[in-house]
Amino acid sequence: MAVSKVSGVRLAGIASAVPDHKHHFSELAGTFGSEEVKKISDSTGVVERYLVPPGMCTSDLAYAAAEKLLAELGWERSTVDAVILVSQTLDYVLPATACTLQHRLGLSKGCAAFDVGLGCSGYVYGLWLASTLVAGGGLRRVLLLAGDCSSTTASPEDRSVAMLFGDAATATALERGDGPPMTFVLGTDGGGRDHLIIPASACRVPRTAETATRTAREGGNLRSDQELYMNGAEIFTFTLREVPPLMKAVLAESGTTVESTDAFVFHQANKFMLDHLAKRMKLPVEKVPVVLARYGNTSSASIPLAMTDALGPRLSAQRQRLLLAGFGVGYSWGAVALECGPMAMPEVVRVPDEAILEGWEAPAS
C-alpha cells in the first residue's frame, strides 16, 4: 500500500467550470423510453448535466477554471512553477495538452507541464503529485487542472453510459504553507482493465472503420470499440472490495476518525453506489455530499466540483477536515485526509461557446 504524508503545502483555492449547455435526462426518452430513462435516473441519481457542444474540449474548460482561480487569487503568472492536467479526454495526446495550457494561460517558460492519464482516482493522484512537487521539489506554486469531456466517449445508444456522464474541468492552486500533513493512500489493480475501457483508444487496438462501427452488445446496447465500455456489476464489486479498506487505512494513517472528519467527498460515480458505500461504512449522510443530480459523473473533475458546489461557502469561510476518495478506471484508487480552508472558492463557471479555442489547421504546403 502506497502511503505518503506530505507537509508544508496549502490549498489556496479551487475553481470549477462546466460548458454552458444544460441537459435533462428526459431528452433520451426518445431512444430508451420514458419509463426506462426515469428508472436509470433514479438509480444513478443523474437528473441534469452540462455537455460540451461540438468543438469544445477539456482544455477550454480547464482554461476557464484556471483563469477564474488566478483572478480570485491575484497570483502573478510567473510564480506558477508547474501546471498538471489530469484527464483521459485530452485535446491532444501529442503534444501534452498541459503544454498547450501553459501557452494559453501565459505562464512562464520556466514552468513544468505534463498530463496525467487517470480518471476517477485522478484528482487524488493529482493532489499527491502537485503537493509533493511543492513539499519535496522546491516549487513555489502549482496549478492542478483536472477534468474530462466523458460525454464524447459514451455511445448515445448504450443505456449503461448514455445518461451518466457530464463534462467539467477544475483548477486547484497549491503553494507552500503551514498546517498538518496531507495523508495519501494509493493503490492499483490492473486486473480490472477490461471492465472500464475504451478498447480502441491508442496503440494496442488500432482504430479502423470496423472499430468505429457500432454493433449490438449486451442488453441490446449499441456501442463501438472506440466508445466507453463499463461493466457495472464488476465495478460495483471492485468498489465494495477496495474502498472500505482504503477508507480504514487513510483514517488510521492520518490519525483521524469519522467523527473528526467534516466531510467525505467521494468521486461522484453514481448515487446508488455512493449511498450504499456511505451506509456500509457508517458515514453520516450529511457528511457525504452527492452532486450527481446537477452534474452527472464528471470523472476526474467530480471531487473538486463537489467541493465547489456543496462545500464552497463553508470552505471559503472556515477550516475543514476532509477525506477525499477517488476509485475506478484502472482499476486505480486513492484517498487523502487533509485540512483546508479558508480558501478561494468561486462559484461554478459556465463556459460559453466563444471560449472554444480555434482548431488546428494544416500548414500551407
The stretches of 21-162 forming alpha helices (DSSP H) are 29-32, 34-44, 58-73, 97-104, 122-135
Q: Which residue from 241, 255, 313, 347 is in contact with other proteins, where contact means CB under 8 A?
A: 241
Verify binding: residue 219, other proteins, rule CB under 8 A. Answer: yes
Binders of other proteins: how many residues, by CB under 8 A?
Answer: 19
Q: Which stretch binds other proteins (CB under 8 A): 9-17, 149-157, 235-243, 248-256?
A: 235-243
Cβ nearer to other proteins, comparing 219 with 359: 219
Q: Which stretch binds other proteins (CB under 8 A): 70-78, 81-89, 232-240, 344-352?
A: 232-240
Q: Which residue from 2, 7, 33, 43 is in contact with other proteins, where contact means CB under 8 A?
A: 43
3-state DSSP assignment of residue 188:
strand
Residue 120 falls in the annotated catalytic set: yes
The answer to whether 154 and 229 have CB atoms below 8 angstroms apart is no
Verify binding: residue 40, other proteins, rule CB under 8 A. Answer: yes
| Residues within window 133-162 making contact with other proteins, judged by CB under 8 A | 160
Q: Do strands 141-148 and 80-86 pair parallel, antiparallel, or not at all (unpaired)? A: parallel
Q: Which stretch binds other proteins (CB under 8 A): 19-27, 226-234, 281-289, 307-315?
A: 226-234
Residue 206 CB, nearest distance to other proteins (Å)? 29
Verify binding: residue 79, other proteins, rule CB under 8 A. Answer: no
Of the residues 149, 267, 270, 340, only one is catalytic, namely 267
- Going from the C-alpha of 179 to that of each of 10, 170, 321, 338, the distances in angstroms are 8, 24, 12, 9
User: Which residues make Cβ contacts (< 8 Å) with residue 39, sequence separation at least 6?
Assistant: none
Would you tell me how many other CB atoms lie within 10 Å of the CB of residue 209?
Answer: 6
Q: Which stretch binds other proteins (CB under 8 A): 25-33, 231-239, 257-265, 290-298?
A: 231-239
- Going from the C-alpha of 271 to that of each of 48, 66, 199, 276, 290, the distances in angstroms are 13, 29, 26, 8, 7
Cβ nearer to other proteins, comparing 217 with 287: 217
Residue 7 CB, nearest distance to other proteins (Å)? 36
Q: Which stretch binds other proteins (CB under 8 A): 71-79, 111-119, 137-145, 273-281?
A: 273-281
Angle among Cα 349, 273, 169 to the nearest 5 degrees reads 20
Residue 267 falls in the annotated catalytic set: yes
Verify binding: residue 104, other proteins, rule CB under 8 A. Answer: no
Of the residues 111, 120, 149, 340, only one is catalytic, namely 120
Residue 238 CB, nearest distance to other proteins (Å)? 9
Q: Which residue from 23, 272, 355, 356 is in contact with other proteins, where contact means CB under 8 A?
A: 272
Angle among Cα 191, 193, 198 to the nearest 5 degrees reads 175
Verify binding: residue 39, other proteins, rule CB under 8 A. Answer: yes
CB burial readout 211-235, b (16+ within 10 A) else e: eeebeeeeeebbbbbbbbbbbbeeb
Angle among Cα 141, 144, 145 to the nearest 5 degrees reads 145
Q: Which residue from 20, 112, 205, 236 is in contact with other proteins, where contact means CB under 8 A?
A: 236
Q: Quick one: which of 38, 42, 95, 87 has its CA closest to 65?
A: 87
Verify binding: residue 234, other proteins, rule CB under 8 A. Answer: yes
Q: Quick one: which of 56, 67, 13, 93 has its CA closest to 167?
A: 56
Output the nine-digit C-alpha cell for 276.
450504499
Residue 235 CB, nearest distance to other proteins (Å)? 8
The stretches of the chain forming alpha helices (DSSP H) are 29-32, 34-44, 58-73, 97-104, 122-135, 232-254, 271-280, 292-295, 302-317
Verify binding: residue 77, other proteins, rule CB under 8 A. Answer: no
Judged by the rule CB under 8 A, the positions of this chain that interact with other proteins are 39-40, 43, 160, 218-219, 231-234, 236-237, 240-241, 272-273, 276, 279-280
Active site residues: 120, 267, 297
